[in-house]
Chain A
Amino acid sequence: MSSKLSIRGVSRVFTSPKGQQTHALTPVDFEMHENDFVTILGPSGCGKSTLLRIVAGLDQPTTGQVLLDCAPVQGPGADRGMVFQSYTLFPWLTIEQNIRFGLRERLMGATEQKERSDYFINKVGLRGFEQHFPKQLSGGMQQRTAIARALANDPKMLLMDEPFGALDNQTRVLMQELLLGIWEAERKTVMFVTHDIDEAIFMANRVAVFSARPGRIKTEVAVDLPHPRHYTIKTSPEFMALKARLTEEIRTESLAADMH
């Protein structure tokens, strides 16, 4: 099977105005297949978000390149939908207008726009809130809208940068189930950055563990838990074993990060 996404020798060095260099990523090689749900797990500041931003085209790699369906990524585009950790809904647009943003940008007909946005508003359970402004909604609802907005665009890939990081614990768990449910139904290729081990295992079929800065992929762990996954799976022995293993991996990295 050919790769959906192929990250080849991607590294990133940030140079400060004073000429100081920070190695955020040492060359990373990584392959993703169609319908993969990969979580990138690592301590904070390890460069995992940098890798995601490079895949999104929002940042340029210092070396290497990213190929999506064999074509090199040159910059940001509608084929890679992104959900950010910060709330990035356009505050001047209603929920429905936010979801239609990308559709309007590519000049889709109004009826089709409406159909698609209605479909995804239902998917994320926001019926009745179409005409609200983002500020009138809770954080969880805003992130649900952001997911719907990204999905409505029908991207080849969904990139998620700790999208539930700012939410309280209960909401985060519900959001994980919602996203997983959507993924089980729609089958998207998803790259999901997180520092939450439970989240990483629960959502993914593969977890890529990042090392401390300068970041690289230290290990890959396959998650062979059956779908559809119910939240009770988090207390199963298989889940616990994975969690114990990843906790150990992350712990060494966090300690290493602390040394610097």
Chain B
Amino acid sequence: MRAQARWLLGIGFFILFFSVWAFFTLGGYVSPTFLASPVTMVQEAILLFTEFNFSHDIAMTLWRVLAGFILAALVGVPLGIAMGAHKGIEAFLEPFVSFCRYLPASAFIPLLILWAGIGELQKVLLIFIGSVFQIVLMVAVCVGAARRDLVEAAYTLGASPSGIVKRVLIPGAAPEITEILRLVLGWAWTYVIVAELIGSSSGIGHMITNSQALLNTGQIIFGIIVIGLIGLVSDFAFKALNRRLFTWSSL
């Protein structure tokens, strides 16, 4: 399928979605109390930016996601590589990490509030907890699945065990590791909103909770759409970065 046709089809669904929404809300089939129309939403959006300093909320949410996510990547990627490269480290950590992976991050909110208060640290830590174990496990699997014959070839070329890790395992797994990070960043977004729903005075999640109290569905929907848009942009950025850095893997 041609690239142009793909784009048109992709955009086509968005148009269809908005038309159906507009049809039911503007046509009066749905009560405005439950669902605002696209027009109301745009008006509310303008209000949010002009009157309620919504850009500050967006900035706060962005910074929380990035801080928690980058922290998780800085801890998780090296740990995952170590686990994937050394069977001993894997045997030592894997059961614990697998266990932690299934702990729901949001269940930690009460504890985190107790430990870190309701400030920024609590939110960043929640995203960290939600992301780090996933990153560790997925990176470990992808490094562990390195091609055996490449490792052997490197050995016959005189590579040391540390050379194998640095020059075979890591470069071989790098494209997949960025893919993993792209995926986990998406999940980090869901955690940040959860973190902001409770004990927060700024951020997109906080704005959504406030609007709920005022039955302002226009603002709620706009908040959700903003999250989606930022997610879409970061996804594209990650994909573009991946293509640029690892031309070889898409040959």
Contact = CB atoms under 8 A, between A and B. Distances in A.
Contact of A105 (B150, B158, B246, B249): B158
Nearest to A159: B156
B163 to A, nearest CB: 5
Contact of B149 (A56, A84, A92, A136): A84
Interface in A83-141: 84, 86, 88, 90-93, 101-102, 105-106, 133, 135-136
B156 A76 contact: yes
A135 B251 CA distance: 7
Given A84-B152, A136-B251, A78 B168 contact: no
A82 B153 contact: yes
Given A77-B158, A105-B160, A153-B158, A88 B150 contact: yes
Interface string B61-90: 000000000000000000000000000000
A81 interface: yes
A78 B249 contact: no
B215 interface: no
B228 interface: no
Given A105-B163, A133-B248, A90 B155 contact: no
A48 interface: no
A200 B172 CA distance: 35
27 contacts: A57-B156, A58-B152, A58-B155, A75-B155, A80-B156, A81-B157, A82-B152, A82-B156, A84-B149, A88-B149, A88-B153, A90-B150, A92-B174, A101-B157, A101-B159, A101-B167, A102-B159, A105-B159, A105-B160, A106-B158, A133-B248, A133-B251, A135-B251, A136-B251, A146-B153, A149-B157, A153-B158
Given A84-B153, A90-B154, A91-B248, 5 more contacts: A58-B152, A77-B158, A80-B156, A133-B251, A146-B153
Nearest to A149: B157
Contacts of A159: 156
B156 A81 contact: yes
